[in-house]
Structure 1
Amino acid sequence: MTANANATATVVVTDYEFADLAPERAVIEGAGFRLVPAQASTPDELVAACADADAVINQYARLTAEVIGRLPALRVISRYGIGLDTIDVDAATAAGIIVAHVPDGSLDDVSDHASAMILALARGLGPYRASLAAGGWDYTVAGPLFRLRGRTLGLLGFGRIPQYVTRKLAGFGLRVLAHDPYARPATAEEYGVTLVDAETLFREADFVSVHVPLTDATAGMVGAEAFALMKPTAYVVNTARGPVIDQDALVAAVLSGRIAGAGLDVFESEPLPADHPLRGMDNVLLSPHCAWYSEDSEEEIRTKAARNVVEVLRGEPLTYHVNREVVPHTRRR
C-alpha cells in the first residue's frame, strides 16, 4: 500500500512531555500523514482522542484492553522507548494491532546513568555533598567506603543495557554476576559475567543494578526477602521500572541499616511525592526518571517512534515489531 493511498491516515500522539512534536511532525507529515497531538490519560479521554486514529504514538498513558477494544480503526501502536508496560500487548495482538517500540534509543544513556549512580554511591558523593552544603568538612560522613576493585556487581537482568554497564565498568576490577533466566550462557561468557540464581545475586552483590522489564513476574521482586539477603554495605540501583522494587521495603531497609543505600531513577508512583521519605535520605541518590535522557537519545527515540508508524502505514518492513504474530495491514478501513 503506498503513501498516497494512505494520505488521510491519522496518527495521534496520546501524551507527551516534550516542548513540541517537531521531530514526530517532520517524519509523519513528511510521509504525507496527519499528526494530531493529544494529552489524554483516562480511558474515555484516550478513546475520544484516538477514535479516528490509524496509528498511535504512546508515552505514559495506559492503553488497556478496554481502550484498545474501543478503537476499531487502529492499526499500530508505537511506544516511545523500550518499555511496554503502558500497553496491553496481548489485547492489541488479539485485535490484530501491531505494537512497536524503540529498544535501542537510549542504551548508552541508561547504562551511563546506572554506571554513574554505582560510582557515586561507591564514593559517597551524596553524603559528602549534603555535608558540605551544611558547612561541614568531614571525610568520614560517607563511611565506610570500600574500593571498587574486588567488589561484586550484581545485574538483575542481562539484556543490552546491563551488557553496556558491564563493558563500561570493566576497568574498575569488579566481579560481575547476573540473574536472567533468558540469558544465553555464551553471551555471559563473552562479557566475563557469571550467571547465578536470584538468591546468590542478592547475597553476594555489593551493588545490585536492576534491569528487568515490569511484568507480573517482576513486580516487587526486590522486596523484603531480597533486602534480608543483602549485605549491610550493599546498594541497590534501579534505572528500569519503579514497581520492580517494593518501595516501602526499600525505605525500611535503608532506615534500619539493612542495606547501605540506593540509587533510584524510577519509582512506584511518579512523580515521587514531595514528602516521600526517600527525598530526605543522604545515602539515596534520586533522579526524575531521566536515565534515558540526552538531547541525542530524545531525538533518536522520537524519530524512531514516528518511523514505526510510517513503516506500517506505508506497508514497509517494520524495524521494531514487538508482536510479530500480527501480520501488517490486517486491519484496514
Structure 2
Amino acid sequence: MEVVASDDPMIDAELLGQHLGGDVTVTVAETGSEDAVREAASDAEALVANVSTPVTAEVLDACEDLRIVARAGVGIDTVDVGAAAERDVVVTNVPEYCTDEVATHTVALLLAALRSLGRYDRDVKAGGWDWRAGGEIHRLSGLTLGFVSYGPIARRVRELVDGFGVDLVAYDPYVDAEEMAADGVEKVDFEALLDRTELLSVNAPLTEETRDMVDRSAFERLADHAVVVNTGRGGVVDEAALADALAAGEISAAGLDVFAEEPPAGSPLFDRDDAILTPHAAWYSEEARADLHETVAANVRAALAGERPPDRIDPDLDWV
C-alpha cells in the first residue's frame, strides 16, 4: 500500500512508516500546489497532508485510488471535505495532539502583547532603557478575556489563566450557556463580546461562517487598550484591518501565530512593533509531534483496512 506524505518538516516519514507497519510504503513529496498533489498522489491510497496541501475536487478526480486524506494537524480548510465524501474518500485530522501547546502559546502571546515585551526587547537591544518604551500598559487583573469559539483550546486557556483575576466571556453558537457557566464563562453574542472584551483570543476554525469574522468593524468596537491574539486560523482575522486598527490606535497590540497566507508575504504587520508574530508554531512540542504521527498512522491504518478512522471528519458540517 502506498502512502504519500507532504514534505513539510513536521512530518517524519520514517517515524510515520514505523507506526504504519512494514506493508506500507511512505513516499515524501512536495504538495504545495494542486499540480504537485496530483502528480505525487496519482497512485496513492492515502495522502498525509500538511497545512498548505490543497485537496480540491480536481485533485481528488486525478487521484482515483485515494481512500483517505489524513491531515497532519487540526485544521482542514485546505481540503474540500464535501467533494471527498462524494468520491468516498475519508478525511481525518488530529484534533487533540497539541491542545496544551496551543493554549500555552495563546497565553504567552496574550501576556507578551499586554506587557509590551516585544517593544521592550527591541528597545533594550538598541541601547535604550526606558520603561515608557512599551507604551500604555494596563493591569491584567480585572480585565475581560473573551474567546471567539469555546472549544478544547479555549477551555484549556481558561484553566491556565485561573488565578489571573480576569473576567471570562465567550462567543460560540454551538456551546450551551450552561456548559460555559460551569467553567465560570459567560456566553455572549458576538457584538457583546467585542464591546466587553479587552483580551481577545481567537480560537475558531476557518469556515464560511468565520471567514473575516474579526474585521474592520470588529476592531472599531473593541476597547482602545484591547489586545487581540489569533491561534485559530488566519482567515478568521482580517490582517489588513488589524494593521490599520493598530496604526489608528483602535487597539493596543496583537499576537498572531496563524495567517491567511502562510508564510505571509509583505504583511503590513511586519513593520509594527505592537504586533508579535510567530510562524504557526503554537502546535509544537516534541511530545505533540510524536502524538501527531501516532494518530495520523492510526487514522490511515483504519481507512486502508476498510474501518472507520477514529478522527473522521463529518462531511455534513459547514467546512470551507
Q: TM-score per shorter chain, which class?
A: over 0.9
Q: Aligned-pair distance for 1:97?
A: 1.0
Cα distance in structure 2, aligned partners of 1:277 and 1:74: 40
Residues in 1 aligned to 2:62 and 2:189: alpha-carbon distance in whole angstroms = 42
The verdict on how the C-alpha distance between 1:315 and 1:94 changes in structure 2, with shifts beyond 3 A counting, is closer
Equivalent residue for 2:205? Answer: 213
**Which shifted more, 254-263 or 11-20?**
11-20
Q: Is the 8 A contact 1:13 1:56 kept in 2?
A: yes
1:184 alignment partner, one of 159, 176, 180: 176
1:317 is displaced (CA, Å) by 4.7
User: What is the rounded CA distance, in whole Å, between the counterparts of 2:233 and 2:88 in structure 1?
Assistant: 27
The corresponding residue for 2:38 is: 47
Percent identical pairs in the alignment equals 37
Are positions 1:71 and 2:70 aligned together?
no
The corresponding residue for 2:157 is 165
Unaligned segments of structure 2, at least 5 residues: none
Q: Distance in 2 between matches of 1:166 and 1:222?
A: 21
- What's 2:125 paired with? 133
Q: In 2, distance between residues paired with 1:15 and 1:215?
A: 26
Partner of 1:308: 299
Partner of 1:23: 15
* Correspondences of 1:267-306 after superposition (within 5 Å): 267-273=259-265, 275-306=266-297
- Cα RMSD for the two superposed structures: 1.5
1:33 to 3, 24, 38: 24
SS at match of 2:146: strand
Question: Partner letter of residue 246 of structure 2?
Answer: V
Q: Which moved more, 1:37-46 or 1:77-86?
A: 37-46
Per-residue CA shift, 1:163-191, capped at 9, x if unaligned?
00001001101101100110122320121
Amino acid at match of 2:13: L
Aligned residue identity for 1:276: S
How big is the shift at 1:324? 7.2
Alpha-carbon spacing, 1:186–1:15, altered in 2? closer, same or farther (3 Å): farther
C-alpha distance in 2 between matches for 1:324 and 1:208: 30
> Which of 143, 152, 162 matches 1:151?
143
Output the amino acid matched with 2:219. F
Once residues 221 and 11 of structure 2 are traced to their aligned partners in structure 1, the CA distance between those partners, rounded to angstroms, is 44
TM-aligned CA deviation for residue 40 of structure 1:
2.6
Q: Post-superposition shift, 1:56?
A: 1.1
Q: Secondary structure at the match of 1:243?
A: helix
Q: 1:223 aligns with which of 215, 225, 234?
A: 215
Q: Given residue 93 of structure 2, which amino acid in structure 1 is its aligned partner? A: H
Q: Tell me, yes or no, if the aligned pair for 1:126 and 1:283 is still in contact at 8 Å.
A: yes
The aligned residue for residue 6 of structure 1 is: none
2:168–2:184: 8 Å Cα contact kept in structure 1?
Answer: yes
- Check whether the contact 1:153–1:208 (CA below 8 A) recurs between aligned residues: yes
- Say whether the 8 Å CA contact 1:14–1:49 is kept in structure 2: no
Question: C-alpha separation between the residues in 2 aligned to 1:25 and 1:220?
Answer: 38
State the TM-score, normalizing by the size of structure 1: 0.91
CA distance in 1, matches of 2:124, 2:291: 38
8 Å CA contact retained: 2:147, 2:202: yes
CA contact 1:15–1:61 (8 Å) conserved in 2: no
> What whole-Å deviation, never above 9, does each CA across 1:202-227 have from its counterpart, x for those lacking one?
11111111011111221111110001
3-state secondary structure, aligned to 2:170: strand
Structure 1: state its 5+ residue gaps: 1-8, 326-333
Match of 1:16, SS state, is: coil
Following TM superposition, by how much is the alpha carbon of 1:43 offset from its aligned partner in structure 2, in angstroms?
A: 2.1
Partner residue of 2:312? 321
- What CA distance in whole angstroms lies between the structure 2 residues aligned with 1:280 and 1:132? 18
Q: What is the CA–CA distance in structure 1 between the aligned matches of 2:105 and 2:187, rounded to whole Å?
A: 23
1:22 to partner: Cα distance: 2.1
Look up the SS of the partner of 2:97 in the other structure. Answer: coil
From 229, 232, 241, give the equivalent of 2:233. 241
Q: Are the counterparts in 2 of residues 214 and 241 from structure 1 also a CA contact under 8 Å?
A: yes
Aligned counterparts of 2:36 and 2:131: Cα–Cα separation in 1? 54
The Cα shift of 1:19 comes to 7.5
Number of residue pairs the alignment of both structures matches: 315
- 1:94-113 correspondence runs (5 A): 94-113=86-105
The alpha-carbon deviation at position 14 of structure 1 amounts to 3.6
Deviations 1:234-255 (CA, angstroms, capped at 9, x unpaired): 0110011111111111111001
Q: Point out the structure with max Rg over C-alpha.
A: 1
SS at match of 1:137: coil
Moved more, 311-320 or 162-171: 311-320
